[in-house]
């Protein structure tokens, strides 16, 4: 058998994946790295990429959680400001990066924000009637007291979002991700949550009258203090709280 070179060994080991999760507290940056080789030393290059000692280059997927210095930097960024102006002037910004933006009390009714990244945005008391947020990311966003009536939120990511006291009547939340979302005291009458993921969501005081939750994931949620009347749940119709 011939000699096995270092590169051959790395080739044999290709296909094994390492997932590395690290947190940079100063800039509040979370990065996830998937590498296709192991047993190699890692070093950062000047262009922000991660390199193996074998000269292989791996792009690092960075997900920002705006706040502190990171948010200040984005506010002063001309390109970021131009996206905000585009949205406010035209009523749309499909696929835009708006992470950390402050839209408290703004009127964005009817805006087209499909596929937009709105991680950690502030939309408290905002007017979002009939807004299009299909496939948008609102991870950790704050929408307390916002008006989302008839909004299109299909396949939107609301993980850990604060949706307390929101008006979400007749919204389209089909296949939306609402894991660990705070929906306390939300108005969800007539909303469509078919196939939505509500794992660990908080629904105390939420009004689910005539709400459709067919095929939804409702693990680890407490519906005891929610209002159920003509509510379509995965296991059937509930009229528990209908007036007699």
Segments in the chain forming alpha helices (H): 6-13, 69-75, 78-90
Tell whether 20 is covered by a domain. Answer: no
**Given pLDDT bands bounded at 50, 70 and 90, which one contains residue 65?**
low
Per-residue pLDDT of 149-194, as tens digits, reads 999 999 999 999 999 999 999 999 999 999 999 999 999 999 999 9
Domain with 94 in it: what CATH number?
A: 2.160.20.80
Is 0.85 topped by the overall pTM? Answer: no
Per-residue pLDDT of 70-82, as tens digits, reads 555 666 788 998 9
Lowest mean pLDDT among 39-43, 55-59, 65-69: 55-59
What number of residues does the chain have? 244
Tell whether 186 is covered by a domain. Answer: yes
* Of 96, 118, 97, the residue nearest 106 (C-alpha): 118
Tell whether 229 is covered by a domain. Answer: yes
> 3-state DSSP call for residue 132?
strand
Rounded Cα–Cα distance for residues 85 and 79 (Å): 10
Tell whether 141 is covered by a domain. Answer: yes
Tell whether 68 is covered by a domain. Answer: no
Tell whether 25 is covered by a domain. Answer: no
The phi, psi pair for 72, rounded to 5°, reads: -60, -40
Tell whether 5 is covered by a domain. Answer: no
Tell whether 239 is covered by a domain. Answer: yes
How many domains are contained in the chain?
1
176 is in which domain, residue-wise?
58-63+75-243
What tokens does 64 get?
A: 């920002």
């Amino acid at each position: 058998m011939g000699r096995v070179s270092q590169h051959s060994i790395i080739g044999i080991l290709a296909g094994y994946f390492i997932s590395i999760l690290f947190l940079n507290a100063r800039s509040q940056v979370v990065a996830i790295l998937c590498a296709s080789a192991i047993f190699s030393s890692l070093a950062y290059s000047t262009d922000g990429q991660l390199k193996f000692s074998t000269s292989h280059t791996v792009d690092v997927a960075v997900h920002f959680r705006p706040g502190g210095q990171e948010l200040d930097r984005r506010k002063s960024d001309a390109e970021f400001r131009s996206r905000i102006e585009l949205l406010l002037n035209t009523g749309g910004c499909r696929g835009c990066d708006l992470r950390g933006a402050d839209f408290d009390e703004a009127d964005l009714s009817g805006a087209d924000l499909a596929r937009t990244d709105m991680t950690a945005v502030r939309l408290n008391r905002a007017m979002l009637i009939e807004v299009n947020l299909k496939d948008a990311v609102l991870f950790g966003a704050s929408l307390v007291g916002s008006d989302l009536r008839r909004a299109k939120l299909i396949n939107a990511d609301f993980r850990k979002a604060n949706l307390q006291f929101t008006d979400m009547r007749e919204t389209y939340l089909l296949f939306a991700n609402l894991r660990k979302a705070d929906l306390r005291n939300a108005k969800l009458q007539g909303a469509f949550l078919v196939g939505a993921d509500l794992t660990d969501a908080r629904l105390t005081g939420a009004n689910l009258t005539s709400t459709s939750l067919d095929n939804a994931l409702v693990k680890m949620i407490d519906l005891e203090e929610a209002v159920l009347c003509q509510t379509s749940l995965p296991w059937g119709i509930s009229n528990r709280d209908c007036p007699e």
